[in-house]
Amino acid sequence: MVSKELENAINKQINAEFWSAYLYLSMSTWFAHEALPGFANWFKVQFQEEQDHALKFMNYLISKGNKVELKPIEKVDTTWSSVLKAFEDTLEHEKVVTSLINNLVSVSRKENDYATENMLQWFVNEQVEEEETAQAMIDSLKLIGSNGFGIYTMDKELAQRSYTPLTATTTA
C-alpha cells in the first residue's frame, strides 16, 4: 500500500486529471462552435488522453490496495477570446499539472516509496511533452497572427491527430 498522505495526494491528482479532461473537452466544443473542426479534434484527443492519465493513477492505487476517491469536478471556462488564448491557457494549466506531479515525486521520495516514484516517472516525461507541444502551438499561432489562411491550414493539419489509448501495460 502507499501511505495515507500519498493516497490523498494521488486522489487529488486523479481529480486534477479529470478537470484537465473537462477543460479540454470544453475547448473542443468551443472550437467546434467557432467552425474550426481540426482544432476541436485536437482538443478532443487531448480530452481522451487526460482521461487515460486519471485512469493510470486510479489503476495504480487499486493495484496497491489503496482506496480511489472520485471527487467533484470544478467548473471550467466555456469561451476564449482567441485561438491563441486557448493555447496560452493550455500551457499555463500544464505548468500547474507539472508542479503537482513534481510535488508527488517529492512526497514519494520523502517516504522512500520507490514504486510510486517509478510510476511517476512516466508522468514527469509526459509533462515535458505536454508543455513542449503547447508552446509549439503558441509559437505557430504567433507566426500566423491574424492570417485567416494560416488558421485554416493549421485547422486542416490538426484534424489529422488521432487518439491512441495507453496500452493495458502502461495504464496498470
Binding residue (CB under 6 A) for ligand FEO from 15, 41, 57, 130? 130
- How far, CA to CA in Å, does 139 sit from each of 77, 82, 98? 23, 15, 20
CA distance linking residue 164 with residue 71, whole number of Å = 27
Compute the CA torsion angle 72, 74, 164, 125 (nearest 10 deg). -100
Minimum distance from residue 113 beta carbon to ligand FEO (Å)? 21
How many residues form the binding site for ligand FEO (CB under 6 A)?
7
Minimum distance from residue 125 beta carbon to ligand FEO (Å)? 11
Q: Does 17 participate in binding ligand FEO (rule CB under 6 A)?
A: yes
For the chain, how many residues are written? 172
Minimum distance from residue 145 beta carbon to ligand FEO (Å)? 27
Closest CA to 116 of 66, 165, 71, 69: 66
Q: Does 53 participate in binding ligand FEO (rule CB under 6 A)?
A: yes
Whichever of 25 and 97 has its CB closer to ligand FEO, that residue is 97
Nearest residue to ligand FEO by CB is 53
Contacts with ligand FEO, 73-112, as mask; x by CB under 6 A? ---------------------x--x---------------
Whichever of 14 and 151 has its CB closer to ligand FEO, that residue is 14
Closest CA to 100 of 60, 57, 52: 57
With H, G, I as helix, E, B as strand and everything else as coil, classify residue 22.
helix
Apex 62 CA angle, 57 and 67, nearest 5: 95
Minimum distance from residue 5 beta carbon to ligand FEO (Å)? 21
Q: Does 20 participate in binding ligand FEO (rule CB under 6 A)?
A: yes
Minimum distance from residue 149 beta carbon to ligand FEO (Å)? 30
CA distance linking residue 46 with residue 28, whole number of Å = 9
Does residue 82 come out as left (phi exceeding 0), alpha (psi in the -120 to 50 range) or beta? Answer: beta
- Residues near ligand FEO (CB under 6 A) are 17, 20, 50, 53, 94, 97, 130
